[in-house]
Protein backbone atom coordinates (compact mmCIF):
# COMPACT_ATOMS: atom_id res chain seq x y z
CA UNK A 1 0.00 0.00 0.00
CA UNK A 2 1.26 3.44 -0.92
CA UNK A 3 2.56 5.49 2.01
CA UNK A 4 -0.05 8.18 2.57
CA UNK A 5 1.07 9.76 5.81
CA UNK A 6 -0.63 7.46 8.36
CA UNK A 7 1.99 4.74 8.78
CA UNK A 8 4.44 6.76 10.89
CA UNK A 9 2.04 9.04 12.77
CA UNK A 10 3.02 9.91 16.32
CA UNK A 11 -0.45 9.67 17.85
CA UNK A 12 0.72 11.31 21.06
CA UNK A 13 1.85 14.36 19.08
CA UNK A 14 -1.37 14.30 17.05
CA UNK A 15 -3.44 14.26 20.24
CA UNK A 16 -1.48 17.20 21.62
CA UNK A 17 -1.89 19.15 18.34
CA UNK A 18 -5.63 18.55 18.25
CA UNK A 19 -5.97 19.43 21.95
CA UNK A 20 -4.18 22.73 21.42
CA UNK A 21 -6.30 23.43 18.32
CA UNK A 22 -9.57 22.71 20.14
CA UNK A 23 -8.47 24.88 23.07
CA UNK A 24 -7.77 27.73 20.67
CA UNK A 25 -11.12 27.18 18.95
CA UNK A 26 -12.84 27.25 22.34
CA UNK A 27 -11.08 30.50 23.20
CA UNK A 28 -12.22 32.06 19.91
CA UNK A 29 -15.78 30.89 20.47
CA UNK A 30 -15.89 32.24 24.02
CA UNK A 31 -14.46 35.54 22.83
CA UNK A 32 -17.09 35.79 20.15
CA UNK A 33 -19.96 34.94 22.50
CA UNK A 34 -18.85 37.59 24.95
CA UNK A 35 -18.92 40.24 22.24
CA UNK A 36 -22.11 39.26 20.42
CA UNK A 37 -25.59 38.20 21.44
CA UNK A 38 -26.58 34.92 19.84
CA UNK A 39 -30.26 35.24 20.65
CA UNK A 40 -32.31 35.47 17.45
CA UNK A 41 -35.57 36.48 19.11
CA UNK A 42 -37.50 34.08 16.86
CA UNK A 43 -40.01 31.67 18.42
CA UNK A 44 -39.10 28.01 18.48
CA UNK A 45 -40.90 25.96 15.88
CA UNK A 46 -41.06 22.61 14.23
CA UNK A 47 -39.73 23.77 10.84
CA UNK A 48 -40.76 20.65 8.96
CA UNK A 49 -43.97 20.08 10.95
CA UNK A 50 -42.98 16.46 11.45
CA UNK A 51 -44.03 16.04 15.06
CA UNK A 52 -47.29 14.25 14.31
CA UNK A 53 -45.62 12.09 11.66
CA UNK A 54 -43.00 10.97 14.19
CA UNK A 55 -45.70 10.10 16.71
CA UNK A 56 -47.57 8.05 14.09
CA UNK A 57 -44.39 6.22 13.13
CA UNK A 58 -43.62 5.42 16.76
CA UNK A 59 -47.10 3.95 17.12
CA UNK A 60 -46.53 1.77 14.07
CA UNK A 61 -43.23 0.52 15.48
CA UNK A 62 -44.84 -0.29 18.83
CA UNK A 63 -47.68 -2.13 17.10
CA UNK A 64 -45.30 -4.29 15.04
CA UNK A 65 -42.54 -5.50 17.39
CA UNK A 66 -41.88 -8.61 15.27
CA UNK A 67 -40.87 -6.49 12.28
CA UNK A 68 -38.68 -4.33 14.47
CA UNK A 69 -36.95 -7.40 15.90
CA UNK A 70 -36.44 -8.76 12.39
CA UNK A 71 -34.84 -5.54 11.22
CA UNK A 72 -32.72 -5.34 14.36
CA UNK A 73 -31.46 -8.90 13.83
CA UNK A 74 -30.67 -8.13 10.21
CA UNK A 75 -28.57 -5.15 11.32
CA UNK A 76 -26.69 -7.29 13.85
CA UNK A 77 -26.02 -9.95 11.22
CA UNK A 78 -24.61 -7.29 8.88
CA UNK A 79 -22.39 -5.98 11.68
CA UNK A 80 -21.25 -9.52 12.46
CA UNK A 81 -20.24 -10.03 8.83
CA UNK A 82 -18.44 -6.68 8.89
CA UNK A 83 -16.54 -7.68 12.03
CA UNK A 84 -15.63 -11.08 10.55
CA UNK A 85 -14.40 -9.41 7.38
CA UNK A 86 -12.30 -7.00 9.43
CA UNK A 87 -10.68 -9.93 11.28
CA UNK A 88 -9.94 -11.66 7.96
CA UNK A 89 -8.30 -8.48 6.64
CA UNK A 90 -6.24 -8.16 9.80
CA UNK A 91 -4.98 -11.71 9.25
CA UNK A 92 -3.82 -10.84 5.75
CA UNK A 93 -6.74 -11.97 3.59
CA UNK A 94 -6.92 -9.54 0.64
CA UNK A 95 -9.89 -11.19 -1.09
CA UNK A 96 -12.68 -9.80 1.10
CA UNK A 97 -15.77 -8.21 -0.47
CA UNK A 98 -17.33 -5.28 1.42
CA UNK A 99 -20.61 -5.85 3.19
CA UNK A 100 -21.91 -2.57 1.79
CA UNK A 101 -20.63 0.03 -0.67
CA UNK A 102 -21.37 3.74 -1.03
CA UNK A 103 -24.00 4.60 -3.62
CA UNK A 104 -22.73 5.39 -7.08
CA UNK A 105 -21.81 9.07 -7.27
CA UNK A 106 -21.27 9.43 -3.49
CA UNK A 107 -18.20 11.69 -3.36
CA UNK A 108 -17.74 11.59 0.40
CA UNK A 109 -15.63 8.43 0.45
CA UNK A 110 -13.41 8.99 -2.58
CA UNK A 111 -10.22 9.30 -0.51
CA UNK A 112 -8.13 6.12 -0.86
CA UNK A 113 -8.00 5.63 2.91
CA UNK A 114 -11.69 4.75 2.98
CA UNK A 115 -10.88 1.65 0.92
CA UNK A 116 -7.28 0.83 1.86
CA UNK A 117 -7.12 1.55 5.58
CA UNK A 118 -8.86 -1.12 7.66
CA UNK A 119 -9.96 1.29 10.37
CA UNK A 120 -11.50 3.82 8.02
CA UNK A 121 -13.05 1.09 5.88
CA UNK A 122 -14.70 -0.32 9.02
CA UNK A 123 -15.97 3.14 10.02
CA UNK A 124 -17.32 3.75 6.54
CA UNK A 125 -19.17 0.44 6.26
CA UNK A 126 -20.48 0.70 9.82
CA UNK A 127 -21.94 4.12 9.00
CA UNK A 128 -23.45 2.92 5.73
CA UNK A 129 -25.09 -0.06 7.46
CA UNK A 130 -26.58 2.15 10.16
CA UNK A 131 -27.74 4.67 7.53
CA UNK A 132 -29.49 1.98 5.53
CA UNK A 133 -31.09 0.56 8.65
CA UNK A 134 -32.42 3.98 9.73
CA UNK A 135 -33.94 4.78 6.33
CA UNK A 136 -35.43 1.28 6.13
CA UNK A 137 -36.98 1.72 9.58
CA UNK A 138 -38.72 4.88 8.42
CA UNK A 139 -39.88 3.43 5.12
CA UNK A 140 -41.19 0.25 6.72
CA UNK A 141 -43.01 1.95 9.59
CA UNK A 142 -44.25 5.20 8.05
CA UNK A 143 -47.89 4.27 7.48
CA UNK A 144 -49.09 7.86 7.56
CA UNK A 145 -50.10 10.04 4.61
CA UNK A 146 -47.71 10.10 1.63
CA UNK A 147 -46.69 13.66 2.53
CA UNK A 148 -45.93 12.76 6.16
CA UNK A 149 -44.04 9.68 5.00
CA UNK A 150 -42.06 11.90 2.66
CA UNK A 151 -41.26 14.30 5.49
CA UNK A 152 -39.97 11.47 7.66
CA UNK A 153 -37.85 10.12 4.84
CA UNK A 154 -36.43 13.57 4.08
CA UNK A 155 -35.75 14.35 7.74
CA UNK A 156 -34.06 10.97 8.24
CA UNK A 157 -31.82 11.51 5.22
CA UNK A 158 -30.87 14.94 6.57
CA UNK A 159 -29.89 13.35 9.89
CA UNK A 160 -28.05 10.49 8.22
CA UNK A 161 -26.09 12.92 6.05
CA UNK A 162 -25.23 15.03 9.08
CA UNK A 163 -23.72 12.15 11.09
CA UNK A 164 -21.48 10.93 8.28
CA UNK A 165 -17.94 10.21 9.55
CA UNK A 166 -16.65 12.54 6.84
CA UNK A 167 -18.21 15.44 8.78
CA UNK A 168 -16.07 14.91 11.90
CA UNK A 169 -12.40 15.76 12.18
CA UNK A 170 -11.46 12.63 14.12
CA UNK A 171 -12.95 10.24 11.54
CA UNK A 172 -12.07 12.01 8.30
CA UNK A 173 -8.67 10.89 6.92
CA UNK A 174 -8.27 14.00 4.79
CA UNK A 175 -8.81 16.26 7.82
CA UNK A 176 -6.46 14.17 9.94
CA UNK A 177 -3.72 14.40 7.31
CA UNK A 178 -4.14 18.16 7.17
CA UNK A 179 -4.12 18.39 10.98
CA UNK A 180 -0.84 16.47 11.13
CA UNK A 181 0.62 18.61 8.37
CA UNK A 182 -0.42 21.94 9.92
CA UNK A 183 -0.11 20.96 13.60
CA UNK A 184 -3.80 21.73 14.10
CA UNK A 185 -3.74 25.20 12.61
CA UNK A 186 -6.27 24.11 9.99
CA UNK A 187 -8.82 23.64 12.78
CA UNK A 188 -8.01 27.06 14.22
CA UNK A 189 -8.41 28.66 10.81
CA UNK A 190 -11.62 26.69 10.37
CA UNK A 191 -13.02 28.18 13.57
CA UNK A 192 -12.09 31.64 12.32
CA UNK A 193 -13.88 30.88 9.06
CA UNK A 194 -16.94 29.77 10.99
CA UNK A 195 -17.00 32.92 13.09
CA UNK A 196 -16.62 34.98 9.92
CA UNK A 197 -19.69 33.26 8.46
CA UNK A 198 -21.79 33.66 11.59
CA UNK A 199 -24.44 36.38 11.72
CA UNK A 200 -23.69 38.41 14.87
CA UNK A 201 -27.38 39.26 15.32
CA UNK A 202 -28.81 35.74 15.16
CA UNK A 203 -25.91 33.35 15.56
CA UNK A 204 -26.93 31.67 12.30
CA UNK A 205 -24.16 30.48 9.99
CA UNK A 206 -24.26 31.21 6.26
CA UNK A 207 -21.70 28.88 4.75
CA UNK A 208 -19.62 30.49 2.03
CA UNK A 209 -19.60 28.30 -1.05
CA UNK A 210 -17.33 30.53 -3.12
CA UNK A 211 -15.02 33.50 -2.92
CA UNK A 212 -17.58 36.31 -3.01
CA UNK A 213 -14.87 38.91 -3.52
CA UNK A 214 -13.71 37.32 -6.78
CA UNK A 215 -16.63 38.52 -8.89
CA UNK A 216 -18.04 41.88 -9.87
CA UNK A 217 -21.21 42.25 -11.90
CA UNK A 218 -20.50 43.75 -15.30
CA UNK A 219 -16.76 43.08 -14.96
CA UNK A 220 -16.23 39.31 -14.93
CA UNK A 221 -19.80 38.06 -14.56
CA UNK A 222 -23.01 39.22 -16.29
CA UNK A 223 -20.83 40.83 -18.95
CA UNK A 224 -22.83 40.55 -22.18
CA UNK A 225 -23.06 44.11 -23.60
CA UNK A 226 -26.47 45.73 -23.48
CA UNK A 227 -28.51 48.61 -22.12
CA UNK A 228 -31.35 49.08 -19.68
CA UNK A 229 -34.06 50.56 -21.91
CA UNK A 230 -37.05 50.52 -19.55
CA UNK A 231 -37.66 50.56 -15.81
CA UNK A 232 -40.60 50.51 -13.43
CA UNK A 233 -40.95 49.76 -9.73
CA UNK A 234 -40.51 46.01 -10.28
CA UNK A 235 -38.29 45.42 -13.34
CA UNK A 236 -35.49 46.77 -15.41
CA UNK A 237 -35.65 45.64 -19.05
CA UNK A 238 -32.30 44.95 -20.69
CA UNK A 239 -31.86 44.95 -24.46
CA UNK A 240 -28.65 43.24 -25.53
CA UNK A 241 -26.33 44.59 -28.21
CA UNK A 242 -26.60 42.55 -31.43
CA UNK A 243 -23.59 40.57 -32.67
CA UNK A 244 -24.90 39.89 -36.19
CA UNK A 245 -25.60 42.33 -39.02
CA UNK A 246 -29.03 40.85 -39.68
CA UNK A 247 -31.50 39.56 -37.09
CA UNK A 248 -34.75 37.63 -37.01
CA UNK A 249 -37.88 39.72 -37.18
CA UNK A 250 -39.51 38.66 -33.91
CA UNK A 251 -37.64 39.59 -30.71
CA UNK A 252 -37.14 37.26 -27.74
CA UNK A 253 -38.27 38.21 -24.21
CA UNK A 254 -36.90 36.17 -21.28
CA UNK A 255 -38.76 36.08 -17.94
CA UNK A 256 -36.32 34.70 -15.35
CA UNK A 257 -37.34 33.63 -11.84
CA UNK A 258 -37.48 36.39 -9.25
CA UNK A 259 -36.32 34.04 -6.51
CA UNK A 260 -32.87 34.26 -8.14
CA UNK A 261 -30.93 36.85 -10.11
CA UNK A 262 -31.32 36.82 -13.91
CA UNK A 263 -27.62 36.45 -14.67
CA UNK A 264 -27.73 32.67 -14.31
CA UNK A 265 -28.33 33.04 -18.05
CA UNK A 266 -25.30 35.32 -18.41
CA UNK A 267 -22.59 34.03 -16.07
CA UNK A 268 -19.70 34.45 -18.46
CA UNK A 269 -19.28 34.56 -22.22
CA UNK A 270 -18.65 30.86 -22.83
CA UNK A 271 -21.82 29.71 -21.04
CA UNK A 272 -24.08 32.75 -21.47
CA UNK A 273 -27.43 31.94 -23.02
CA UNK A 274 -28.16 35.60 -23.81
CA UNK A 275 -24.80 35.91 -25.61
CA UNK A 276 -25.55 32.71 -27.54
CA UNK A 277 -28.99 34.02 -28.53
CA UNK A 278 -27.55 37.27 -29.87
CA UNK A 279 -24.94 35.28 -31.77
CA UNK A 280 -27.73 33.30 -33.46
CA UNK A 281 -29.34 36.56 -34.58
CA UNK A 282 -32.13 37.09 -32.04
CA UNK A 283 -32.96 40.55 -30.68
CA UNK A 284 -32.84 39.58 -27.03
CA UNK A 285 -34.48 41.21 -24.00
CA UNK A 286 -34.44 40.01 -20.40
CA UNK A 287 -36.29 41.14 -17.28
CA UNK A 288 -34.16 42.01 -14.24
CA UNK A 289 -36.36 41.85 -11.15
CA UNK A 290 -36.05 44.31 -8.30
CA UNK A 291 -35.02 42.77 -4.99
CA UNK A 292 -38.12 43.68 -2.92
CA UNK A 293 -38.09 45.47 0.41
CA UNK A 294 -40.70 45.90 3.14
CA UNK A 295 -42.62 48.51 1.12
CA UNK A 296 -43.49 45.82 -1.46
CA UNK A 297 -45.07 43.32 0.93
CA UNK A 298 -48.43 43.40 -0.88
CA UNK A 299 -47.02 42.75 -4.36
CA UNK A 300 -48.64 39.54 -5.62
CA UNK A 301 -48.75 37.55 -8.84
CA UNK A 302 -51.08 40.10 -10.43
CA UNK A 303 -48.53 42.87 -9.80
CA UNK A 304 -45.69 40.71 -11.07
CA UNK A 305 -47.65 40.01 -14.26
CA UNK A 306 -48.67 43.64 -14.81
CA UNK A 307 -45.32 45.24 -14.04
CA UNK A 308 -43.35 42.29 -15.39
CA UNK A 309 -44.17 40.52 -18.68
CA UNK A 310 -47.05 42.77 -19.73
CA UNK A 311 -45.06 45.97 -19.15
CA UNK A 312 -42.00 44.46 -20.83
CA UNK A 313 -44.02 43.46 -23.91
CA UNK A 314 -45.27 47.04 -24.32
CA UNK A 315 -41.71 48.35 -23.91
CA UNK A 316 -40.34 45.88 -26.47
CA UNK A 317 -42.95 47.10 -28.96
CA UNK A 318 -41.70 50.65 -28.42
CA UNK A 319 -38.09 49.52 -28.77
CA UNK A 320 -38.49 47.43 -31.94
CA UNK A 321 -41.83 48.34 -33.51
CA UNK A 322 -42.84 44.68 -33.39
CA UNK A 323 -46.35 43.83 -32.22
CA UNK A 324 -45.47 40.32 -31.04
CA UNK A 325 -42.62 38.47 -29.33
CA UNK A 326 -41.31 34.99 -28.67
CA UNK A 327 -41.52 34.55 -24.89
CA UNK A 328 -39.27 32.49 -22.65
CA UNK A 329 -39.87 31.66 -18.98
CA UNK A 330 -37.55 29.97 -16.46
CA UNK A 331 -38.88 28.10 -13.38
CA UNK A 332 -41.27 30.39 -11.44
CA UNK A 333 -40.71 32.94 -14.23
CA UNK A 334 -42.22 30.32 -16.53
CA UNK A 335 -45.16 29.87 -14.15
CA UNK A 336 -45.75 33.62 -14.27
CA UNK A 337 -45.43 33.56 -18.06
CA UNK A 338 -48.04 30.79 -18.14
CA UNK A 339 -50.43 32.98 -16.15
CA UNK A 340 -49.73 35.89 -18.49
CA UNK A 341 -50.39 33.84 -21.62
CA UNK A 342 -53.63 32.45 -20.20
CA UNK A 343 -54.66 35.98 -19.21
CA UNK A 344 -54.04 37.25 -22.75
CA UNK A 345 -55.77 34.20 -24.20
CA UNK A 346 -58.90 34.83 -22.16
CA UNK A 347 -59.10 38.30 -23.71
CA UNK A 348 -58.46 37.12 -27.25
CA UNK A 349 -55.10 38.93 -27.43
CA UNK A 350 -52.64 36.07 -27.14
CA UNK A 351 -51.92 35.17 -30.74
CA UNK A 352 -51.51 38.83 -31.68
CA UNK A 353 -48.95 39.51 -28.97
CA UNK A 354 -47.03 36.24 -28.54
CA UNK A 355 -45.97 33.95 -31.37
CA UNK A 356 -44.52 31.18 -29.21
CA UNK A 357 -43.54 30.39 -25.65
CA UNK A 358 -40.59 28.40 -24.32
CA UNK A 359 -40.50 27.07 -20.78
CA UNK A 360 -37.33 26.07 -18.92
CA UNK A 361 -37.96 23.59 -16.05
CA UNK A 362 -41.37 25.16 -15.37
CA UNK A 363 -44.20 23.65 -13.35
CA UNK A 364 -47.84 24.54 -13.93
CA UNK A 365 -49.42 21.35 -12.57
CA UNK A 366 -48.13 20.81 -9.03
CA UNK A 367 -49.79 17.47 -8.32
CA UNK A 368 -46.37 15.73 -8.33
CA UNK A 369 -44.05 18.64 -7.65
CA UNK A 370 -41.29 16.75 -5.88
CA UNK A 371 -39.62 17.18 -2.50
CA UNK A 372 -40.30 20.90 -2.22
CA UNK A 373 -43.92 20.00 -1.46
CA UNK A 374 -42.64 18.65 1.87
CA UNK A 375 -42.13 22.27 2.93
CA UNK A 376 -45.69 23.26 2.05
CA UNK A 377 -48.70 22.55 4.24
CA UNK A 378 -51.16 24.70 6.15
CA UNK A 379 -49.14 24.66 9.38
CA UNK A 380 -45.81 25.51 7.77
CA UNK A 381 -47.42 28.17 5.59
CA UNK A 382 -48.99 29.82 8.65
CA UNK A 383 -45.61 29.80 10.39
CA UNK A 384 -43.89 31.37 7.37
CA UNK A 385 -46.56 34.06 7.03
CA UNK A 386 -46.19 34.95 10.70
CA UNK A 387 -42.42 35.14 10.29
CA UNK A 388 -42.87 37.53 7.33
CA UNK A 389 -45.31 39.84 9.13
CA UNK A 390 -42.63 42.18 10.43
CA UNK A 391 -40.39 42.45 7.37
CA UNK A 392 -43.01 41.94 4.66
CA UNK A 393 -40.84 39.50 2.76
CA UNK A 394 -39.14 36.12 2.98
CA UNK A 395 -35.40 36.45 3.29
CA UNK A 396 -33.70 34.89 0.28
CA UNK A 397 -31.24 33.00 2.44
CA UNK A 398 -34.09 30.89 3.82
CA UNK A 399 -35.11 29.81 0.33
CA UNK A 400 -31.46 29.17 -0.52
CA UNK A 401 -31.07 26.92 2.52
CA UNK A 402 -34.18 25.00 1.50
CA UNK A 403 -32.79 24.32 -1.98
CA UNK A 404 -29.40 23.36 -0.52
CA UNK A 405 -31.01 20.87 1.85
CA UNK A 406 -32.26 18.88 -1.15
CA UNK A 407 -28.61 18.07 -1.88
CA UNK A 408 -27.08 18.49 1.55
CA UNK A 409 -23.94 16.43 0.99
CA UNK A 410 -22.92 18.49 -2.04
CA UNK A 411 -24.22 21.91 -1.02
CA UNK A 412 -23.79 21.92 2.75
CA UNK A 413 -21.51 19.29 4.27
CA UNK A 414 -18.77 19.37 1.64
CA UNK A 415 -18.30 23.08 2.42
CA UNK A 416 -18.41 22.46 6.18
CA UNK A 417 -15.49 20.06 5.77
CA UNK A 418 -13.55 22.32 3.40
CA UNK A 419 -14.09 25.61 5.25
CA UNK A 420 -14.27 24.64 8.91
CA UNK A 421 -12.14 21.47 9.19
CA UNK A 422 -9.62 21.74 6.41
CA UNK A 423 -9.39 25.48 7.15
CA UNK A 424 -9.49 26.39 3.48
CA UNK A 425 -11.18 29.29 1.77
CA UNK A 426 -13.77 28.39 -0.87
CA UNK A 427 -12.64 28.66 -4.48
CA UNK A 428 -13.95 31.21 -6.97
CA UNK A 429 -16.85 29.63 -8.90
CA UNK A 430 -19.28 31.80 -10.86
CA UNK A 431 -22.26 29.44 -10.48
CA UNK A 432 -21.88 29.27 -6.71
CA UNK A 433 -21.46 33.06 -6.54
CA UNK A 434 -24.82 33.39 -8.30
CA UNK A 435 -26.30 30.74 -5.99
CA UNK A 436 -25.25 32.77 -2.95
CA UNK A 437 -26.64 36.01 -4.42
CA UNK A 438 -30.16 35.30 -3.19
CA UNK A 439 -33.20 37.55 -3.44
CA UNK A 440 -36.11 38.32 -1.15
CA UNK A 441 -39.71 37.28 -1.90
CA UNK A 442 -42.65 39.54 -1.14
CA UNK A 443 -45.02 38.20 1.47
CA UNK A 444 -48.04 38.16 -0.84
CA UNK A 445 -46.36 36.57 -3.88
CA UNK A 446 -44.73 33.92 -1.68
CA UNK A 447 -48.04 33.12 0.01
CA UNK A 448 -49.93 32.94 -3.31
CA UNK A 449 -47.30 30.76 -4.97
CA UNK A 450 -47.22 28.20 -2.17
CA UNK A 451 -50.92 28.19 -1.30
CA UNK A 452 -52.58 28.66 -4.72
CA UNK A 453 -50.16 26.58 -6.75
CA UNK A 454 -48.17 24.14 -4.58
CA UNK A 455 -50.75 23.42 -1.89
CA UNK A 456 -54.07 23.69 -3.76
CA UNK A 457 -52.85 23.23 -7.37
CA UNK A 458 -55.37 25.82 -8.53
CA UNK A 459 -53.59 26.86 -11.70
CA UNK A 460 -54.83 23.79 -13.58
CA UNK A 461 -58.41 24.34 -12.39
CA UNK A 462 -60.18 26.57 -14.95
CA UNK A 463 -61.28 29.85 -13.40
CA UNK A 464 -59.94 29.07 -9.94
CA UNK A 465 -57.14 31.64 -10.26
CA UNK A 466 -58.07 35.18 -11.24
CA UNK A 467 -55.65 37.93 -12.27
CA UNK A 468 -56.94 41.46 -12.76
CA UNK A 469 -60.41 39.97 -12.46
CA UNK A 470 -59.85 37.59 -15.39
CA UNK A 471 -60.32 33.83 -14.77
CA UNK A 472 -57.22 31.83 -15.81
CA UNK A 473 -57.65 28.74 -17.99
CA UNK A 474 -54.53 27.02 -19.34
CA UNK A 475 -56.57 25.71 -22.28
CA UNK A 476 -56.45 29.29 -23.61
CA UNK A 477 -52.71 28.86 -24.30
CA UNK A 478 -53.15 28.00 -27.97
CA UNK A 479 -49.79 29.19 -29.32
CA UNK A 480 -46.86 26.79 -30.02
CA UNK A 481 -44.94 25.88 -26.88
CA UNK A 482 -41.48 24.38 -26.32
CA UNK A 483 -41.25 22.73 -22.90
CA UNK A 484 -37.83 21.79 -21.53
CA UNK A 485 -37.15 19.68 -18.45
CA UNK A 486 -34.05 18.15 -16.84
CA UNK A 487 -33.77 14.48 -15.99
CA UNK A 488 -32.03 14.99 -12.62
CA UNK A 489 -33.96 18.08 -11.50
CA UNK A 490 -34.70 17.94 -7.75
CA UNK A 491 -36.62 21.23 -7.72
CA UNK A 492 -38.92 20.78 -10.73
CA UNK A 493 -38.98 17.02 -11.50
CA UNK A 494 -39.24 16.32 -15.21
CA UNK A 495 -42.41 14.26 -14.80
CA UNK A 496 -44.03 17.27 -13.15
CA UNK A 497 -42.81 19.67 -15.86
CA UNK A 498 -44.16 17.32 -18.53
CA UNK A 499 -47.71 17.75 -17.21
CA UNK A 500 -47.89 21.15 -18.93
CA UNK A 501 -48.19 19.29 -22.25
CA UNK A 502 -51.57 17.99 -21.07
CA UNK A 503 -52.95 21.46 -20.29
CA UNK A 504 -51.74 23.67 -23.15
CA UNK A 505 -53.75 23.28 -26.36
CA UNK A 506 -51.42 24.59 -29.08
CA UNK A 507 -48.64 22.67 -30.83
CA UNK A 508 -46.30 21.35 -28.14
CA UNK A 509 -42.74 20.10 -28.21
CA UNK A 510 -41.10 18.53 -25.17
CA UNK A 511 -37.36 18.02 -24.69
CA UNK A 512 -35.60 16.31 -21.79
CA UNK A 513 -32.09 17.49 -20.99
CA UNK A 514 -29.36 15.79 -19.02
CA UNK A 515 -28.29 17.04 -15.55
CA UNK A 516 -30.39 19.16 -13.18
CA UNK A 517 -32.23 22.41 -12.57
CA UNK A 518 -29.32 24.67 -13.55
CA UNK A 519 -26.85 22.71 -15.67
CA UNK A 520 -29.74 21.11 -17.54
CA UNK A 521 -30.73 24.58 -18.73
CA UNK A 522 -27.35 26.32 -18.97
CA UNK A 523 -25.66 23.89 -21.35
CA UNK A 524 -24.12 25.65 -24.38
CA UNK A 525 -23.45 23.50 -27.44
CA UNK A 526 -19.72 24.31 -27.38
CA UNK A 527 -19.38 22.52 -24.04
CA UNK A 528 -20.51 19.24 -25.65
CA UNK A 529 -21.97 18.02 -22.35
CA UNK A 530 -25.22 16.46 -21.16
CA UNK A 531 -27.12 14.70 -23.90
CA UNK A 532 -30.82 15.27 -24.49
CA UNK A 533 -33.87 13.19 -25.46
CA UNK A 534 -36.45 14.00 -28.14
CA UNK A 535 -39.79 12.51 -29.08
CA UNK A 536 -42.14 14.20 -31.56
CA UNK A 537 -45.17 12.59 -29.94
CA UNK A 538 -46.91 13.87 -26.79
CA UNK A 539 -48.43 10.88 -24.94
CA UNK A 540 -50.30 11.16 -21.65
CA UNK A 541 -47.36 10.69 -19.26
CA UNK A 542 -43.68 11.49 -19.05
CA UNK A 543 -42.78 7.83 -18.67
CA UNK A 544 -44.56 6.99 -21.93
CA UNK A 545 -42.80 9.92 -23.62
CA UNK A 546 -39.39 8.75 -22.41
CA UNK A 547 -40.02 5.18 -23.58
CA UNK A 548 -40.44 6.45 -27.13
CA UNK A 549 -37.70 9.11 -26.97
CA UNK A 550 -34.36 8.99 -28.73
CA UNK A 551 -31.17 10.21 -27.07
CA UNK A 552 -29.08 12.80 -28.89
CA UNK A 553 -25.57 13.98 -28.16
CA UNK A 554 -24.84 17.34 -26.60
CA UNK A 555 -26.96 20.36 -25.82
CA UNK A 556 -30.67 20.73 -26.51
CA UNK A 557 -30.07 24.37 -27.46
CA UNK A 558 -29.52 23.41 -31.11
CA UNK A 559 -32.94 21.76 -31.31
CA UNK A 560 -34.51 24.80 -29.64
CA UNK A 561 -32.80 27.17 -32.11
CA UNK A 562 -34.15 25.15 -35.03
CA UNK A 563 -37.67 25.38 -33.56
CA UNK A 564 -37.42 29.01 -32.40
CA UNK A 565 -36.00 30.41 -35.62
CA UNK A 566 -39.13 29.34 -37.50
CA UNK A 567 -41.28 31.19 -34.99
CA UNK A 568 -39.05 34.28 -35.37
CA UNK A 569 -39.49 34.56 -39.12
CA UNK A 570 -37.37 31.75 -40.46
CA UNK A 571 -34.64 33.98 -41.89
CA UNK A 572 -32.56 36.89 -40.60
CA UNK A 573 -33.84 39.74 -42.76
CA UNK A 574 -33.97 42.73 -40.39
CA UNK A 575 -31.00 45.05 -39.91
CA UNK A 576 -29.58 44.57 -36.42
CA UNK A 577 -31.46 46.62 -33.84
CA UNK A 578 -29.23 48.59 -31.50
CA UNK A 579 -30.50 49.55 -28.04
CA UNK A 580 -31.82 53.09 -28.34
CA UNK A 581 -32.85 52.81 -32.01
CA UNK A 582 -36.53 52.79 -31.06
CA UNK A 583 -38.64 55.01 -28.85
CA UNK A 584 -37.00 53.99 -25.56
CA UNK A 585 -34.16 56.00 -24.03
CA UNK A 586 -30.96 54.36 -22.78
CA UNK A 587 -31.06 54.39 -18.98
CA UNK A 588 -27.78 52.68 -18.05
CA UNK A 589 -25.43 49.88 -19.06
CA UNK A 590 -26.31 46.25 -18.48
CA UNK A 591 -26.58 44.51 -16.09
CA UNK A 592 -28.30 47.50 -14.50
CA UNK A 593 -28.94 48.63 -10.95
CA UNK A 594 -31.68 46.30 -9.69
CA UNK A 595 -29.49 43.20 -9.97
CA UNK A 596 -26.83 44.76 -7.75
CA UNK A 597 -29.09 45.03 -4.68
CA UNK A 598 -28.06 42.20 -2.39
CA UNK A 599 -29.95 40.72 0.55
CA UNK A 600 -27.62 42.34 3.05
CA UNK A 601 -27.91 45.82 1.52
CA UNK A 602 -30.67 48.33 0.98
CA UNK A 603 -31.35 50.16 -2.26
CA UNK A 604 -29.60 53.47 -2.63
Residues annotated as catalytic (active site), given as ranges: 331
For 354, half-sphere exposure in the C-beta direction (CA atoms, 13 angstrom radius) is: 30
CA distance 160 to 141: 17
CA distance 313 to 483: 21
- Strands (E) located in 351-454: 354-360, 393-394, 441-442
**Cα first-last separation, the chain:** 61
CA distance 162 to 132: 14
In order, the DSSP letters of 306-349 are IIIIIHHHHHHHHHH--S-EEEEEETHHHHHHHHHHHHHHHTT-
In SS3 terms, 517-535 reads as CCCCCCCCHHHCCCCEEEC
Nearest by Cα to 332 from 277, 273, 272, 403? 403
Q: At what angle do helices 65-90 and 118-141 cross, to 10 degrees?
A: 170
- Strands (E) located in 378-516: 393-394, 441-442, 466-467, 470-471, 481-486, 508-513
User: For residues 184 and 25, is the Cβ–Cβ distance under 8 A?
Assistant: no
Number of residues that make up the chain? 604
For 198, half-sphere exposure in the C-beta direction (CA atoms, 13 angstrom radius) is: 21
CA distance 310 to 328: 13
For 531, half-sphere exposure in the C-beta direction (CA atoms, 13 angstrom radius) is: 7
CA distance 93 to 197: 47
CA distance 277 to 275: 5
Q: Residue 179, Cα to own-chain centre: how many angstroms?
A: 33
CA distance 116 to 124: 11
In order, the DSSP letters of 318-330 are HHH--S-EEEEEE
User: For residues 400 and 438, is the Cβ–Cβ distance under 8 A?
Assistant: yes
User: For residues 441 and 309, is the Cβ–Cβ distance under 8 A?
Assistant: no
Percent of the chain that is helix, strand, coil (3-state, to 5): 50, 10, 40
Amino acid sequence: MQDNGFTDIDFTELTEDMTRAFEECQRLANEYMREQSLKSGLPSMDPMNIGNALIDMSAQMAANPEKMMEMQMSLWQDYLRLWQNSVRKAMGDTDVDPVIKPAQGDKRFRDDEWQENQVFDFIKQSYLLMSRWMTDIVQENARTSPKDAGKLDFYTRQFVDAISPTNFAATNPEVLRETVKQHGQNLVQGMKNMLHDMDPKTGNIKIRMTDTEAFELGKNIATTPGKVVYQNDLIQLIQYTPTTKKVYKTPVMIVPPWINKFYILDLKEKNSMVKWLTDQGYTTFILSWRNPDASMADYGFEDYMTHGPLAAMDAIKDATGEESINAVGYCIGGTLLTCTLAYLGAQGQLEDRVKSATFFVTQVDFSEAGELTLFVDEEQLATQIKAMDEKGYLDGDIMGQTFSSLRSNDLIWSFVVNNYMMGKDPTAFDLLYWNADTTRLTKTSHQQYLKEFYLENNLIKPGKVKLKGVPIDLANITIPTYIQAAIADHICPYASVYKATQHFTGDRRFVLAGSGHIAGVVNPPAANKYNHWLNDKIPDTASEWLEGAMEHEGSWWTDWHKWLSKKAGGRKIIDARMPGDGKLPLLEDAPGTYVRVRNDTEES
